[in-house]
Amino acid sequence: MSTDGSSPVDFDHYYRGPAYKEEHRAWGKTLRDFIDAEIMPHVEEWEEAGEFPRELYKKAGDIGLLGLGYPEEFGGTPVDDSMYSMVTSEEMARIGAGGVGSSLLVHGIGLPPILARGTDEMKRQVAPAVLSGNKVICLAITEPSGGSDVARIKTRADLMGDHYIVNGSKMFITGGMRADYITTAVRTGGDGSRGISLLLIESDREGVSRTSLKKQGWLCSDTAAISFDDVKVPKENLIGEEGHGFAGIMHNFNSERIGMVTNCVAHARVCFEDALSWARLRETFGRRLADHQVIRHKFAEMARHIAATQAYLDQCAERVREGESPVADLSLLKVQATRTLEFCAREASQIIGGASYMRGERVERIYREVRVNAIGGGSEEIMLDLASRQLGI
């Protein structure tokens, strides 16, 4: 413990490693100022309303949040450094409401397939509008009949002349209610992964309908069920080659999972920090709550989980920066991170007690969002099975 009362597990005092440099600190400061001014004062109001104002996309575009890491020609800031993304995930976690980041930054999963595989015309049409915050894009993969088994997608796109005719439905689509563009996984061929393609579908096309879904957590994130009923889509909207969509989807998962892991560890740190502040002020049986041995041990266990997960994350992030694709470790890391979050959210709630059950507190919001992290982006069970297969077991 330092002399100023901070803990090495506090949000701003943990060891970040040599990859974290002054430019990352500067970006974190810019983003924190934006969050403190534009998001923190309103987040509980947005949670209760079930959405945040659409104008927040434009404000995020104006400070460069949406364009970070994207090509300059489309209005982005082309930083080839994943540490910026990790700092972004951490700062967004400070809000203690994952729905803000999941919807505000949903282009992080919807736009990359277009930039990687789309035509030049498609990139020019979509990317500048999305990175400026004027348009919203989402990714539609999961279906009512199955989630993690991407190779069994049923939504069909049949080529009829110069158009595809799309029929099917998607479920649990983050950003789906507001999206102007839907990067959609469709079946253009036979069974299995080789029959899957990616198609850009504008949400205002005839035959596209959307239903808003109510959730346990991520309350201010719009989540949709999307149906396609004989939707006519130009064949020019095909993203990449027909039958090659599965590889694009899988490639996208690596960056998505690192972002989710970073967010989980940061949320665990928020739980630690809020519980510690409470334990230092709360008095029980004539002394501070923090002076009881059983409570101190809870903090020690939380710190152990957080430190181990952070070290694993740093190792995997460095390997990805070096060009590796450590699928087994990324899968195991996601499980490690979601279980760390679950443990810390529970322990923080136990320490804070009844106050942690009240709406408006960060720990209360985070606890409700444990399951979406453990299931989304690949459930713990799928991740463990994928890792075991990668390990040759």
Give which of 161, 247, 166 is closest to 202, Cα–Cα: 166
Spatial distance between the Cα atoms of 152 and 92, rounded to a whole number of angstroms: 33
Tokens of 45: 């109001």
Say if strands 156-160 and 137-140 run parallel, antiparallel, or are unpaired.
Answer: unpaired
Amino acid identity at 3: T
Contacts of 182 (CB under 8 A, 6+ apart): 110, 137, 138, 139, 140, 173, 176, 200, 201, 202, 203, 208, 226
Say if strands 181-187 and 137-140 run parallel, antiparallel, or are unpaired.
Answer: parallel
181, 229 in Cβ contact below 8 A? Answer: no
Q: Is 236 a catalytic residue?
A: no
Spatial distance between the Cα atoms of 90 and 10, rounded to a whole number of angstroms: 12
Contacts of 42 (CB under 8 A, 6+ apart): 52
74, 132 in Cβ contact below 8 A? Answer: no
Phi and psi for 121 in degrees, rounded to 5?
-65, -40
The owner of tokens 């009881």 is 292
> Which candidate in 51, 202, 256, 380 is catalytic?
256
Residues serving a catalytic function are: 256
